[in-house]
Chain A
Amino acid sequence: MHPLKHYWVAEALERDLGDPLNPDSMMSFKQVVDLDEKEEFPHDIVNWLYNWNLHHHYIPAECGGEFTNFEEFVAFVRVLSRRDLTAGIAFTTMFWSFLVWMAGTDEQKRRLASFMKDQHGAMCLSYSEKAHGSDLLGGDVTATQVPGGYLLNGEKWPINRATISGVTFVLARTDDAGGARSLSLFMVEKSKLDEKTYTHLPKILTHGIRGSDMSGIRFEDAFVAEDARLGAEGAGLELALKGFQITRALCAAFSQGAADTALRTTLKFAMKRKLYGKTVFDMPQPRRVLTDAFLDVLIGDCATIGAARGFSVAPEQFSVWSAVVKYFVTVKLEAMVTDVSAVLGARFYMREEFEFGIFQKTLRDVAIISMFDGSTVVNLHALLLQMRQLAKYRARNKERNPEVLNARLETSFGLDKPLPPFDGRKLELVSRGADDVLQGLPLALTQLASLKADKSLTPEVLHQVTTFTEMIQAELDSLDAHVTASSFEYGHDQSPESFEMAKQYCTLHTAAACVHMWLYNRHHLGDFFAKGEWLALSLRRLMLTFRREKDLPPRLDDAAIAQELIRLYSEDRMFSIVPFQLAPAQPETASEPSQTLQLQAK
């Protein structure tokens, strides 16, 4: 069993699902590609996951479930997503239950937990409307007060699992005067609605996740009782925005699972495919693409796992952390999947050839993740509005309370450290300028300076990591100065330059997360992690956003990265800073050349 217990559920799920290349496994590539071709909802898979009791891990212990923390959650969502984003996402719409765990009454929590556990129920999120997209306050769906409850009217579209779900969380206008308090949130249990008062809208045909129940729902004088409302009347927007802080960060786990399959499939091809007397992997250019892709996965890991743990440590900062992770990880990994497709050559486009055609499906599926729960633009907008405050806070709090900050960072990033329970009530609409990750850069530099005497480290690696960390700090200072000097932009007229600054912020936050992850875990995540070449190369990759190649320290030899990539592949381990055990791959059939010899040759 993995020494870190947050990975036990993921490992057990892997073991029981089995090798995805074996057509007999549940969630095999063959099964999920077939379902995708037929555009069929993965009922069998979802039922299997319920029977496995995975849904218990979406319900907090105090509500009768087994949810521990989001680090564990991210790990098992990666397991689902590396096999099939359609089913992974369909099952994980259950993370909307956190709206109730966060804001519901004891009775509402009891009802929802029973619905999930006893009826194997699922839920969907009815926020968006055809005419209004991300403009939640502009919505036309209304909830009009009547004796004992409300009448819902209007249409929500496009909604994932709108039809195949028993509960839908509906954001509806309860105050015609408009404004930030005009919306309320309702937990609508379809079983309690008069069937004549609601209609499901037809399935929407999509480019990827084609088996998904992407549809909509229309209400016509649908009566919901008073006790369907979550929180106070008028609290809808506030709850919606806080709920997004949870789900946006978790969306990164979808992308990471998909990225694993894209990389694993392509690597397998590159190691087997022989051209001009050598394997594709032995050629420097494709090899570089694959090692860089592996670095992208590790970079994403540091941000995603750091945030998954940070939820339990600094929930009040998640208006920032979550926006960063949602933007950066999903967008970068989507690009990474496209990058590796070049190595796969024409096969990336084929729907049956090579590994049951899983690559083209992954490529199509992963493209939607950056759009979920707030698009890239929405996330950057949420962040850029806070950048003045973030810059001001950093200027004011430099070097203040370093012990407290260090303790928080150590808990967020030290994977062997116990986590306090997550309390959704501590989420805040804005972080009041606080962002531990970037605020902790001076602390990281102090720690790096103290490592000079550490004989286990190569001086060049430490030197590069230190140099890059100083660069992150310098770029942050420059960004802060720029933000402070720029004029206040409001409404939805922010300049494209502000969006670029928000992107830079995301890159810097992620780079700092990589440094913290290394510093707080050097002694227990294995030799590859401890030596830090991956970190120096990752930071260099991130700093290329800011500096010219020739102004950076030279690129370290990446042989260790390629070697680790192959080790994880051959041992069936997740490509990750926590390379937990995957289901063992079946031995190759006689018709395919053995990879063993080639692995030994590396």
Chain B
Amino acid sequence: MTQATATTEIFAIEAIQTWMVNQIATQLSIPAANIKVSEPLTRYGLDSIDSVTIVGDLEDWLGEDLPSTLLWDYPTIAKAASYLVEEIGVSPAAEAA
């Protein structure tokens, strides 16, 4: 992997993490600062089906079909964002532009 690719991926992961933190903070009406990307989302009161619906919002933002069980298999924001970028090759910068 070139350094440029690695940097692009880091930016992509950060962009997804930021979007998810803000989205969940808005939905749950809690400050974004209270959401840690390394915590399982269930910690914030979201249950298994809520997390499936959050994937729907993520799909809308990225414009891509994602596995609806994404947050079951990758239950933290950090794990989900890494998976999306490193395994699926999602590039939010282009989508969100």
Contact = CB atoms under 8 A, between A and B. Distances in A.
Given A180-B69, A181-B73, A430 B56 contact: yes
B53 A180 contact: no
A179 B49 contact: no
Contacts of B72: 179-181, 237-238
B40 A179 contact: yes
A433 B56 CA distance: 8
A491 B56 contact: no
A279 to B, nearest CB: 52
Nearest to A390: B56
Contacts of A385: 49-50, 52-53
Interface in A451-500: 487-488, 490-492
B68 interface: yes
Taking each of A386, A388, A428, A429, which has the highest tally of chain B beta carbons within 10 Å of its own beta carbon? A429
Contacts of B40: 179
B59 interface: yes
Q: In the complex, which range does the number of interface residues on chain B fall in?
A: 20 to 34
A338 interface: no
Given A428-B68, A432-B59, A492-B47, 9 more contacts: A179-B40, A179-B72, A385-B52, A386-B53, A392-B60, A430-B52, A488-B26, A490-B47, A490-B50
Interface of A: 137, 178-181, 237-238, 382, 385-386, 388-389, 392, 428-430, 432-433, 487-488, 490-492
Interface string B35-66: 00000101001111111110111011000010
A202 B40 CA distance: 41
A178 B73 CA distance: 12
A438 B70 CA distance: 28
B51 A491 contact: no
Contacts of B51: 180
A487 B28 CA distance: 9
A243 to B, nearest CB: 15
B73 A490 contact: no
B2 interface: no
9 contacts: A179-B72, A237-B48, A238-B72, A392-B60, A432-B65, A433-B56, A488-B26, A490-B28, A491-B47
Those 4 A-B pairs whose CB atoms lie nearest each other, nearest first: A180-B48, A488-B27, A180-B72, A490-B50
B5 interface: no
Contacts, number: 60
A389 B52 CA distance: 11
Contacts of A386: 53
B7 interface: no
A125 B3 CA distance: 54
Contacts of B48: 137, 179-180, 237
Contacts of A237: 48, 72
Contact of B45 (A137, A178, A180, A490): A490
A193 B27 CA distance: 48
Q: Is the interface of B mostly helix, strand, loop or mixed?
A: helix
Q: Pick from B27, B56, B59 the residue with the most CB of A within 10 Å.
A: B56
B31 to A, nearest CB: 16
Nearest to B42: A179
A179 B79 CA distance: 15
Given A180-B69, A428-B68, A430-B68, A491 B53 contact: no
Contacts of B60: 392
B69 A429 contact: yes
Given A179-B42, A487-B29, A490-B47, A429 B56 contact: no
Contacts of A487: 29
B52 A490 contact: no
A238 B47 CA distance: 14
Contacts of B57: 389
A181 B45 CA distance: 17
B52 A429 contact: yes
Nearest to B26: A488
Interface in B2-43: 26-29, 40, 42
Contacts of A430: 52-53, 55-56, 68
A242 to B, nearest CB: 11
B52 A491 contact: no
A372 to B, nearest CB: 20
Contacts of A488: 26-28
Contacts of B73: 181
B53 to A, nearest CB: 5
Nearest to A490: B50
Contacts of A180: 48, 51, 69, 72, 75
A178 B55 CA distance: 20
